[in-house]
Amino acid sequence: MKSYLVQPDKKLDLSKHDPDGRSQFDGSKDDAQQELETLNSRLSELQELLYAESKHRILIVLQAMDTGGKDGTIRRVFSGVNPQGVRVASFKVPTPEELAHDYLWRIHKQAPGNGEIVIFNRSHYEDVLVVRVHNLVPPEVWAKRYQHINDFERLLTDTGTTILKFFLNIDLDEQKKRLQSRLDNPDKHWKFNIGDLAERKRWPDYMQAYQDALEKTSTDYAPWYVIPANRKWYRDLVISRIIVESLEGLNMKYPPSENLDGVVID
Ligand code: ADP
């Protein structure tokens, strides 16, 4: 999965990342579905262990262009996981109260506690993406944020949080297909946001903003992965593998039990 890692301190050329890529799996879609089910079960076991041990904290950051598949990824990758130990935090346009604070205030409040997995559906990265593209603050303000973000993520990882960040990489054609299918299907109209069409026109600006953000904030302690996301099944498979591998690496153990020898239940 290292091929999707954004190497810290190296230049990133997002255009070299193929949204249609599937180099890490040569089986069929059905084979992938089977592997995904196995990974789902393993993730469920690991999450129970994480919850029982109550020592580590897991933060998963999902960023994508509109229709990029954040919601579907959450549904598919975490299907089967006990909802008690997983929380999704979605970040929308900041409220007046949030805007009256520093931009990380609302983010820090949602960070995971011991034994918890939190998925950020959008995140503090919006403050160097949409905010930059729409000039919501001047360049000298957003330019400082990459360093703030690295320092903030360092604080979280120094205090027991594992951070994994995924950019779901689709292309303009795929977005068109997905928008069109929302338009064609009345049951999906609720997902169709007319504002997405204006954002679509700014695609190159967003790609530039993503490229800078990923390049400047992929660190060895909080890495970014660029996930080929035109194929939903491949996206889910790759993300599941990375999360499972990362949790396996924590070498978690169930807490030692009390001595239960001779315990009798009446
Ligand atoms: P989603 O597209 O994630 O399913 P919405 O359709 O409600 O959810 O969109 C949320 C909107 O909030 C997005 O357009 C996003 O760019 C915007 N947003 C999130 N964070 C910020 C921020 N810090 N500043 C401005 N806009 C933001």
Closest atom of ligand 1 relative to the 92 alpha carbon: 12
Residue nearest to atom 26 of ligand 1 (CA): 93
Q: For 92, how many CA atoms within 13 A lie in the half-sphere containing its CB? A: 2
| pLDDT at residue number 85 | 87
Q: Are strands 161-169 and 57-64 parallel, antiparallel or unpaired?
A: parallel
Q: Which of 61, 130, 145 to mutate to test the pocket of ligand 1 (most atoms within 8 A of CB)?
A: 130
Residues 134 and 128: beta-carbon distance below 8 Å: no
For residues 23-34, give the mean pLDDT: 96
CB crowding 74-107: b at 16 or more within 10 Å, else e? bebbbeebeeebbebbebeebeeebeeeebbebb
| Phi and psi, residue 247, nearest 5° | -70, -40
Selected from 3.40.50.300, 3.40.50.12780, 1.10.260.40, 3.30.1360.170, the CATH number assigned to the domain covering 2-248 reads 3.40.50.300
| pLDDT at residue number 4 | 97
Q: Categorize the per-residue pLDDT at 173 as very low, low, confident or very high, splitting at 50, 70 and 90.
A: very high
Residue 164, Cα to own-chain centre: how many angstroms? 7
pLDDT tens, residue by residue, 151-160: 999 999 999 9
| Phi and psi, residue 56, nearest 5° | -95, 160
pLDDT tens, residue by residue, 97-153: 999 999 999 999 999 999 999 999 999 999 999 999 999 999 999 999 999 999 999
Closest atom of ligand 1 relative to the 122 alpha carbon: 3
How far is the centre of ligand 1, averaged over its atoms, from the C-alpha of 27 (Å)?
36
Residue nearest to atom 25 of ligand 1 (CA): 93
Ligand 1 shell residues, CB under 6 Å = 66, 91-94, 121-122, 126-127, 130-131, 193
Instruction: Give the helix/strand (H/E) hosting 144.
Output: none
Residue nearest to atom 24 of ligand 1 (CA): 93
DSSP 54-101: ---EEEEEEEESTTSSHHHHHHHHTTTS-GGGEEEEE--SPPHHHHTS
How far is the centre of ligand 1, averaged over its atoms, from the C-alpha of 93 (Å)?
5
Closest atom of ligand 1 relative to the 124 alpha carbon: 23
Alpha-carbon gap, residue 134 to 244, rounded angstroms: 36
Name, in order, each residue with C-beta under 8 angstroms of 26's C-beta and a sequence gap of 6 or more: none
Q: Is the pTM of this model over 0.85?
A: yes
Alpha-carbon gap, residue 2 to 69, rounded angstroms: 22
Spell out the domain ranges in the chain.
2-248
Closest atom of ligand 1 relative to the 103 alpha carbon: 23
Given a cut of 90, whether residue 220 has pLDDT beyond it is: yes
Helix, strand, coil percentages for the chain (3-state, nearest 5)? 50, 10, 35
How far is the centre of ligand 1, averaged over its atoms, from the C-alpha of 91 (Å)?
6
